[in-house]
Amino acid sequence: MKYTQLMKARIQGKEDRLPTSLMHKSGLRQFCDVVKVPTPIEYAKFDTPGDIDLDKLPEEFVLKPAYASAGEGVMLLTRVDGGYFDSMSQRTLTGDEIRLTQGKIYDKYVKTNSRHTIAEQRVICSEGLSIPPDYKFLAFQGRIGVIIRIDRSAGRLKMNYYDENFVPVVDERIKFNPKIADREFALPPKNWRSLLDLAVRTSYAVPTPFSRIDLFLDKESGPLLGEVTLTPGSFYYEAGHTLSLDENLRFGELWEQAARRLRMSMPVVE
Helix (H) or strand (E) segment spanning residue 211: strand 211-218
Sign of CA dihedral 98, 103, 104, 105: positive
Residues 6+ apart with CB under 8 A from 71: none
Q: How many residues does the chain have?
A: 270
Strands 91-93 and 117-120: unpaired
CA neighbor of 11 nearest in space, from 213, 231, 212: 231
Calpha distance 141→207 (Å, rounded):
8
Distance CA 200, CA 258 (A): 13
Q: Shortest CA distance to 207 belongs to which of 145, 263, 143? A: 263
For residues 236 and 71, give the distance between their C-alpha atoms in angstroms, rounded to a whole number: 18
Question: What CA–CA distance (Å, rounded) separates 227 from 38?
Answer: 11
pLDDT at 84: 98
**Backbone φ, ψ for residue 63 (5° rounding):** -120, 130
pLDDT at 207: 97
Calpha distance 225→95 (Å, rounded): 28
For residues 149 and 236, what is the distance between their CA atoms, to the nearest angstrom? 17
Nearest to 262 by CA among 218, 207, 188: 207
What value does the mean pLDDT take over residues 216-232?
95
End-to-end CA distance of the chain: 10
Give the pLDDT band (50/70/90) at residue 268. confident
pLDDT of residue 248: 98
- Residue 25: per-residue pLDDT: 78
Whether 3-38+127-262 shares its CATH topology with 42-120 is answered: no
d(Cα 68, Cα 234) in Å, to the nearest integer?
17
Q: What is the pLDDT of residues 133-183, one digit of tens each?
A: 999 999 999 999 999 999 998 878 999 999 999 999 999 999 998 988 999
CATH class of the domain comprising 3-38+127-262? alpha beta
CA distance 200 to 143: 7
Question: 160 and 186 in contact (C-beta within 8 Å)?
Answer: yes
pLDDT of the residue at 67: 86
Q: Examine the pLDDT at 270 and tell me if it is beyond 80.
A: no
For residue 16, pLDDT over 80 is answered with yes
- pLDDT tens digits for range 72-84: 999 999 999 999 9
Residue 240's pLDDT band (boundaries 50, 70, 90)? Answer: confident
* Predicted pLDDT of residue 78: 97
- Dihedral of alpha carbons 20, 3, 132, 88, sign: negative
User: What three-state secondary structure class fits 266?
Assistant: coil
Separation CA 26–CA 251 (nearest Å): 29
Strand-pair category, 60-65 with 117-120: antiparallel
Query: Is the CB of residue 264 less than 8 Å from the CB of residue 17?
Result: yes
Q: Which contiguous run of DSSP H or E holds residue 16?
A: none
- Per domain, the residue ranges of the chain are 3-38+127-262, 42-120
CATH classification code of 42-120: 3.30.1490
